[in-house]
Amino acid sequence: MNIAWKEIKKNKVRFLILGSIIFLVSFLTFIISGLANGLSQDNAALIKDLPDGQFYMSTAADETYNLSKIESPIQDNMLNEKKDAVALSIQMGFLNDQNGKQQSVAFVASTDSKLFEHVKDGEVILDRSMKEKGIKVGDVLTNNQFSGKWIVKGFADDKKFSHAPVAFVNIENYKDMYRTDAMQLVFVPGEEKAQAAAGLQAFSKKEFLHTIPSYSAEQMSLNMIVWFLVVISGMLFAIFFYMMNVQKIGLYGILKAIGVKTSTLFKMMWTQMLFITVLALSLSVAFSQGFKMISPDGMPFHLTLETTLQLSVIFLVIGFIGATLSGVQIKKVEPLQAIQQGEV
Partner 1 sequence: MSVFTIDEVKKTFTNGEVAEEVLKGVNLSLKEGEITALVGASGSGKSTLLTIAAGLQPASDGKIWFEGQNINLMNQEQIRKIRASKFGFIFQFAHLVPFLTVEEQLTLMLDVSETKLKRQEQQREIDNVLKLVEMDHRKNAYPSSLSGGEKQRVAIARAIIHKPKVLFADEPTASLDSKRSKDVMQLIQRLTKTLNITTLLVTHDEEMLAYADRVIKMSDGLVS
Q: Which residues bind to partner 1, rule: CB under 8 A?
A: 1, 3, 6-7, 9-11, 251, 254-261, 334-336, 338-339, 342-344
User: Please, what is the minimum distance in Å from the beta carbon of residue 283 to partner 1?
Assistant: 24
DSSP type of residue 123: E
Q: How far is the CB of 254 from partner 1 (least distance, A)?
A: 4
Single-letter amino acid, residue 118: H
Query: Which is closer to partner 1, CB of 3 or CB of 32?
Result: 3
Buried b or exposed e, range 147-185, using 16+ CB within 10 angstroms: eeebebbebbeebbbbebbbbbbbbebbebbbeeebbbb
Q: Name which of 314 and 344 has its Cβ closer to partner 1.
A: 344
Closest CB to partner 1 among residues 122, 335: 335
For partner 1, the closer of residues 5 and 227 by Cβ is: 5
- List 257's β-bridge partners, or say none: none
From the CB of 158, what's the least distance to partner 1, in Å? Answer: 51
- Nearest CA-CA partner of 288 in 303, 307, 306, 275: 303
Please report how close the Cβ of residue 159 comes to partner 1 at its closest, in angstroms: 57
Neighbours of 41 (CB within 10 A): 17
**Nearer Cβ to partner 1 (105/244):** 244
End-to-end CA distance of the chain: 21
Output 18 or 238, the one with its CB closest to partner 1.
Answer: 18
Contact 115, 53 (CB under 8 A): no
Least distance from partner 1 to the Cβ atom of residue 242, Å: 20
For the CB of residue 10, give the shortest distance to partner 1 in the complex, in Å. Answer: 4
Rounded to whole angstroms, the Cα distance separating 163 from 321 reads 39
State how far the alpha carbon of 39 is from the alpha carbons of 92, 162, 290, 300, in Å. Answer: 18, 10, 19, 6
Closest contact distance (angstroms) between CB of 326 and partner 1 is 20
| Nearest distance from C-beta of residue 334 to partner 1, angstroms | 8
Distance of CA 45 to the CA centre of its chain: 10
8 A C-beta contact, residue 149 and residue 177: no
CB of 256 to partner 1, least distance (A): 8
CA-to-CA distance for 162 and 92, rounded, in angstroms? 8
What does the alpha-carbon distance between residue 230 and residue 250 come to, in Å, rounded to a whole number? 32
CA distances from 112 to 116, 120, 173, 218 (A): 8, 11, 14, 32
Residue 120: HSE in the Cβ half-sphere, 13 Å Cα cutoff: 4
CB nearer to partner 1: give 248 or 292.
248
How many CB atoms within 10 Å of residue 297? 9
Of 28 and 260, nearer to partner 1 (C-beta) is 260
- CB closer to partner 1, 71 vs 334: 334
The answer to whether 110 touches 185, Cβ cutoff 8 Å, is no
Which amino acid is residue 67, in one-letter code?
L
